[in-house]
Structure 1
Amino acid sequence: MSTLAGLFAPDRVAVVGATEREGSVGRAVTENLLDRFDGAVIPVNPKRETVLGTPCVASVAEADPDMAVVAVPPGAVLDVVRECGEAGVQNVVVLTAGFGETGAEGADRERQLRGVAAEYDLNVVGPNSLGVMSSPVGLNATFGPDAPPEGGVSFMSQSGAFVTAVVDWAADAGLGFKDVVSLGNKAVLDETDFVRAWGNDPDTDVVVGYLESIVDGRAFVDAARETTDDTPVVVVKSGRTDAGAQAASSHTGAIAGSDRAYEAGLDAAGVLRAESVQELFDAARALAGGDVPESNGVAVVTNAGGPGVMATDAVGDAERLSLASFTDETVDRLAEELPDEANVYNPVDVIGDAPVERFRTAIDIALEDPNVGAAVVITAPTATLDFGELGEAIAESTDDHGVPTAACLMGGGRLEDARQVLRERGIPSYFDPARAVGGLESLAEYREVRGRSYPDPEPVDADRERVREILETVEDRSDNRLGVEAMEILDAYGVPTPEGAVVDDPAEAQAVAEDIGEEVVMKIVSPDILHKSDIGGVKVGVPVDEVDDAYEDLIARARNYQPDATILGVQVQEMLDLDAGVETIVGSHRDPQFGPLVMFGLGGVFVEIMEDTTFRLAPVGSDAAKEMTEDIDAAPLLRGARGRDPVDIDGVTDAVRRVSQLVADFPSIVELDVNPLVATPDGVRAVDLRLTVDPEELEQ
Structure 2
Amino acid sequence: MGTLSALFAPERVAVVGATERPGSVGRALVENLQAGFEGDVVPVNPNYETVCGLPCVDGVGEAGADLAVVAVPVSAAVDVVREAAEAGIENVVVVTAGFGETGGEGAARERELEAVAEEYDLNLVGPNCLGIIGTAVGLNATFAPRSAPSGSISFLSQSGAFVTAVLDWAADHGVGFENVVSLGNKAVLDESDFVASWGDDERTDVIVGYLESIEDGRRFVDVAREVTRETPVVVVKSGRTEAGAQAASSHTGAMAGRDRAYAAGLREAGVIRADTVQDLFDAARVLAGQPIPDTDGVAVVTNAGGPGVMATDAVGDGPLSLADFGSATVDRLRDRLPGGANVYNPVDVIGDADNDRLRDAVDVVLADDAVGAAVVLAAPTATIDFTQLAADVADLQSRHDLPVTTCLMGGERAREADDVLEDAGIPNYFDPARAVGSLATLERYREVRDRERPEPTTYDVDREAAAATLDRARDRGATRLGVEATPLLDAYGIPTPAGEVVDSPTDALDAAERIGDPVVMKIVSPDILHKSDIGGVKVGVAHEDVYDAYEDLIARARNYQRDATILGVQVQEQVDTESGVETIVGTNRDPQFGPLVLFGLGGVFVEVMEDTAVRLAPVAETEALAMTEEIRASPLLSGARGRDPVDREAVAETVGRLSQLVTDFPEILELDVNPLVVRPDGVEAIDLRLTIEPES
Aligned to 2:254: 254
1:243–1:258 CA contact under 8 A, matched in 2: no
The one-letter code matched in structure 2 to 1:125 is V
Whether 1:558 aligns to 2:561 is no
- SS of structure 2 residue aligned to 1:97: coil
Aligned to 2:299: 299
Aligned to 2:511: 512
Q: How far apart, CA to CA, are the structure 2 residues paired with 1:3 and 1:170? A: 28
Q: How far apart, CA to CA, are the structure 2 residues paired with 1:597 and 1:348? A: 46
Aligned to 2:98: 98
2:518–2:541 CA contact under 8 A, matched in 1: yes
CA shift for structure 1 position 614: 0.5
Deviations 1:260-318 (A, max 9, x none): 00000000000000000000000111100251111111111111111111111100101
Aligned to 1:224: 224
Deviations 1:442-464 (A, max 9, x none): 00000000002322211121111
Aligned to 2:364: 365
Q: How far apart, CA to CA, are the structure 1 residues paired with 2:606 and 2:684? A: 18
The one-letter code matched in structure 1 to 2:540 is G
Q: How far apart, CA to CA, are the structure 2 residues paired with 1:163 and 1:380? A: 35
Deviations 1:300-342 (A, max 9, x none): 1111111111111100101x10111222221221111012222
TM-score by length of 1: 0.98
Aligned to 2:323: 324
- SS of structure 1 residue aligned to 2:457: coil
Q: How far apart, CA to CA, are the structure 1 residues paired with 2:244 and 2:463? A: 29
- SS of structure 1 residue aligned to 2:156: strand
CA shift for structure 1 position 383: 2.1
Q: How far apart, CA to CA, are the structure 2 residues paired with 1:358 and 1:624? A: 48
Aligned to 2:456: 457
The one-letter code matched in structure 2 to 1:2 is G
CA shift for structure 1 position 171: 0.9
CA shift for structure 1 position 135: 1.4
Q: How far apart, CA to CA, are the structure 2 residues paired with 1:108 and 1:353? A: 71
Deviations 1:164-198 (A, max 9, x none): 10110011111111100000010100000000000
Aligned to 2:653: 654
Aligned to 2:9: 9
Aligned to 2:77: 77
The one-letter code matched in structure 1 to 2:72 is V
CA shift for structure 1 position 493: 0.5
Aligned to 2:610: 611
1:343–1:349 CA contact under 8 A, matched in 2: yes
**For 1:218-297, what aligned pairs fall within 5 Å after superposition?**
218-297=218-297
2:580–2:680 CA contact under 8 A, matched in 1: yes
CA shift for structure 1 position 247: 3.5
The one-letter code matched in structure 1 to 2:377 is I
Aligned to 1:30: 30
Identity value in percent: 68
Whether 1:524 aligns to 2:532 is no
CA shift for structure 1 position 357: 1.0
Deviations 1:131-170 (A, max 9, x none): 0001121111000001121111100000001001011001
2:43–2:51 CA contact under 8 A, matched in 1: yes
Whether 1:487 aligns to 2:519 is no
Aligned to 1:448: 447
Q: How far apart, CA to CA, are the structure 2 residues paired with 1:395 and 1:473? A: 70
2:290–2:426 CA contact under 8 A, matched in 1: no
Deviations 1:80-128 (A, max 9, x none): 1111111111110000111111121111111111111001000110001
CA shift for structure 1 position 48: 1.2
CA shift for structure 1 position 679: 0.7
2:482–2:526 CA contact under 8 A, matched in 1: yes
The one-letter code matched in structure 1 to 2:61 is A
1:19–1:27 CA contact under 8 A, matched in 2: yes
Q: Which moved more, 1:440-449 or 1:530-539?
A: 530-539
2:124–2:189 CA contact under 8 A, matched in 1: yes
Q: In angstroms, what is the RMSD of aligned CA positions?
A: 1.1
Q: Which moved more, 1:467-476 or 1:333-342?
A: 467-476
CA shift for structure 1 position 478: 5.1
Q: How far apart, CA to CA, are the structure 1 residues paired with 2:471 and 2:74? A: 46
Deviations 1:503-527 (A, max 9, x none): 1011111111111122000001111
Q: How far apart, CA to CA, are the structure 2 residues paired with 1:622 and 1:418? A: 50
1:499–1:574 CA contact under 8 A, matched in 2: yes
Q: How far apart, CA to CA, are the structure 1 residues paired with 2:151 and 2:324? A: 36
The one-letter code matched in structure 1 to 2:544 is D
Aligned to 2:581: 582
Q: How far apart, CA to CA, are the structure 2 residues paired with 1:504 and 1:321? A: 60
Q: How far apart, CA to CA, are the structure 2 residues paired with 1:477 and 1:308? A: 69
Whether 1:173 aligns to 2:173 is yes
Q: How far apart, CA to CA, are the structure 2 residues paired with 1:461 and 1:118? A: 42
2:290–2:403 CA contact under 8 A, matched in 1: no
1:92–1:122 CA contact under 8 A, matched in 2: yes
- SS of structure 1 residue aligned to 2:220: helix
Aligned to 2:600: 601
Q: How far apart, CA to CA, are the structure 2 residues paired with 1:414 and 1:38? A: 38
Total equivalences in the alignment: 696
The one-letter code matched in structure 2 to 1:82 is R
CA shift for structure 1 position 479: 4.4
Aligned to 2:465: 466
Aligned to 1:503: 502
CA shift for structure 1 position 412: 1.7
The one-letter code matched in structure 2 to 1:15 is V
CA shift for structure 1 position 650: 1.4
- SS of structure 1 residue aligned to 2:187: coil
Aligned to 1:150: 150
TM-score by length of 2: 0.99
The one-letter code matched in structure 2 to 1:392 is A
CA shift for structure 1 position 645: 0.7
2:94–2:129 CA contact under 8 A, matched in 1: yes
The one-letter code matched in structure 1 to 2:25 is V
1:302–1:350 CA contact under 8 A, matched in 2: yes
- SS of structure 2 residue aligned to 1:427: coil
Aligned to 1:401: 400
CA shift for structure 1 position 600: 0.4
Whether 1:543 aligns to 2:542 is yes
Q: How far apart, CA to CA, are the structure 2 residues paired with 1:642 and 1:691? A: 34
- SS of structure 1 residue aligned to 2:256: helix
2:647–2:680 CA contact under 8 A, matched in 1: yes
CA shift for structure 1 position 350: 1.4
Q: How far apart, CA to CA, are the structure 2 residues paired with 1:34 and 1:255? A: 52
Alignment gaps of 5+ in structure 2: none
CA shift for structure 1 position 246: 3.7
- SS of structure 2 residue aligned to 1:36: coil
Q: How far apart, CA to CA, are the structure 2 residues paired with 1:580 and 1:49? A: 87
Q: How far apart, CA to CA, are the structure 2 residues paired with 1:382 and 1:94? A: 55
**For 1:101-116, what aligned pairs fall within 5 Å after superposition?**
101-116=101-116
Alignment gaps of 5+ in structure 1: none
- SS of structure 2 residue aligned to 1:572: strand
Q: How far apart, CA to CA, are the structure 1 residues paired with 2:576 and 2:584? A: 17
CA shift for structure 1 position 429: 1.4
Q: Which moved more, 1:551-560 or 1:29-38?
A: 551-560
Aligned to 1:643: 642
CA shift for structure 1 position 256: 1.1
2:673–2:685 CA contact under 8 A, matched in 1: yes
- SS of structure 2 residue aligned to 1:578: coil
Aligned to 2:89: 89
The one-letter code matched in structure 1 to 2:55 is P
CA shift for structure 1 position 385: 2.1
1:647–1:679 CA contact under 8 A, matched in 2: yes
- SS of structure 1 residue aligned to 2:332: helix
- SS of structure 2 residue aligned to 1:605: coil
